[in-house]
Structure 1
Amino acid sequence: MSAAPQEYPYQQADPELALKYAIHHMKGDRAEIIEGVIEQVVPTWGHERAITSIRRQLDPRLIELDCEPGSGNLDLPGSANWYIPDLAVVPSRLVDAGGVLVPDQTLLVVEVTSESNGETDRVVKRRRYAEYGAPLYLLVDRQERACTLFCTPGPLGYTLVDGPHPFGTPVRLPQPFGVELATDRF
């Protein structure tokens, strides 16, 4: 005769928190969660060239603004999303505080498309960044060879769109940046 199973008072795990915890604490590979699907982040040299060009152009202004450029984690609480943008600009005080940031704590988010994720960057991430309050979203669309700046976020998307501008056409970033980005190296 076997004993009756013993009951343990485990709390039910929150699937969103468990998944995000696992992604955040992975060793080695970087991964993001897009609408509940885990995707490995593997930037190409083309991605890196575009991001490097943007960073170099922004650096003098970022020093003045006391901001940091990077590709750290962005949580979208209450959703099955955990993004690693190609570039995000955040105030240094938030980086110094440590922890995970959310899109409304950024000043600018940049995504560079690739063949495998172009539609995600064009549609899904644009919608989610707006919903979570990222004030500026710059889409560098390498397949369309154009840049589009999305501004004024809201729950239904961005209300101001500047572009698409063909590569080679400068893109003006509004305040607090107040700079014009050259796009000929994208």
Structure 2
Amino acid sequence: MSTAADYSNVDPEQALKYAVQHIRGDRAQIIEGIIEPVSPTWDHEAAAETIRDQIRPRARQLGCVTGSGNLDLPGSSNWFVPDIAVVPAAQAKGAAALLPEDTLLIVEVTSESNGDTDRVVKRKRYAEYNAPLYLVIDRQEQSVTLFSEPGRLGYTRVDGPHPFGAKIRIPEPFGLDIDTSELA
């Protein structure tokens, strides 16, 4: 006689996050409990690369890496894969996932299929989890907005939206201007 396995002490959040890390073939993220594949188009990647190329030299000077590694939001059913995150190299080494507060900057590039996720859900959650800087490249609105000074109720400082073609200042520790003319 077989007995049923006892799953009564399994943490649903941890089980969901474990499952999303082990999906074969594609990367995926969890947005408010919904598993979404991460499969950007080349146009999307070109926009991200435009920003990454401008950030990377300063990130290296700061001892950081730029990438799209996993971000865990403990206590929630969220597991994000940002388009670009700048994190200290020492923290990235050997880490399966980091926390938004471990980043110096997070950049999301919107797509038609998930633009509201980047504009609303991720903005709220990144602030809640203390990501210091959140840059949204909104391809549908053709604008760029920088959110900073995270608080419990959201970001308290907003720079933008600025139309593509404008320069936007990324504050210290970066202290650089991002040229968005190539995005237009």
* TM-based fold match above 0.5: yes
Aligned to 2:167: 170
Other structure's SS at 2:166 match: coil
For the structure 1 residues 140 and 9, does the alpha-carbon distance in structure 2 shift closer, same or farther, using more than 3 Å as the test? closer
Letter in 2 for 1:172: R
Count of paired positions: 183
- Aligned-pair CA distance for 1:11: 4.9
- Aligned-pair CA distance for 1:27: 2.3
2:127–2:155: 8 Å Cα contact kept in structure 1? yes
1:49–1:185: 8 Å Cα contact kept in structure 2? no
- Aligned-pair CA distance for 1:9: 6.3
The yes-or-no answer on 1:125 pairing with 2:122 is yes
2:130–2:151: 8 Å Cα contact kept in structure 1? yes
Q: Which runs of 4+ in 1 moved over 6 A?
A: none
Aligned to 1:156: 153
More deviation in 70-79 or 52-61? 52-61
The yes-or-no answer on 1:113 pairing with 2:119 is no
1:33–1:83: 8 Å Cα contact kept in structure 2? yes
Letter in 2 for 1:75: D
TM-score, structure 1 as length reference? 0.94
TM alignment of 1:33-112, pairs within 5 A: 33-112=30-109
2:20–2:29: 8 Å Cα contact kept in structure 1? yes
Aligned-residue identity in percent: 60
Residues 91-130 of structure 1, C-alpha deviations (whole Å, 9 max, x = no match): 0001114231010000000111111101111000000000
Letter in 1 for 2:110: T
More deviation in 36-45 or 9-18? 9-18
- Partners of 1:30 and 1:7 lie apart in 2 by 31
For the structure 1 residues 10 and 148, does the alpha-carbon distance in structure 2 shift closer, same or farther, using more than 3 Å as the test? closer
Letter in 2 for 1:26: I
Other structure's SS at 1:152 match: strand
Across the aligned residues of Structure 1 and Structure 2, the Cα RMSD in angstroms comes to 1.6
- Aligned-pair CA distance for 1:7: 8.0
- Partners of 1:51 and 1:62 lie apart in 2 by 15
For the structure 1 residues 18 and 178, does the alpha-carbon distance in structure 2 shift closer, same or farther, using more than 3 Å as the test? same
Residues 64-115 of structure 1, C-alpha deviations (whole Å, 9 max, x = no match): 1010000011000000000000110000001114231010000000111111
Extract unaligned runs of 5+ from structure 2: none
2:28–2:36: 8 Å Cα contact kept in structure 1? yes
Q: Which has the larger radius of gyration?
A: 1
Extract unaligned runs of 5+ from structure 1: none
Going by fraction, where is strand more abundant, 1 or 2? 2
TM-score, structure 2 as length reference? 0.95
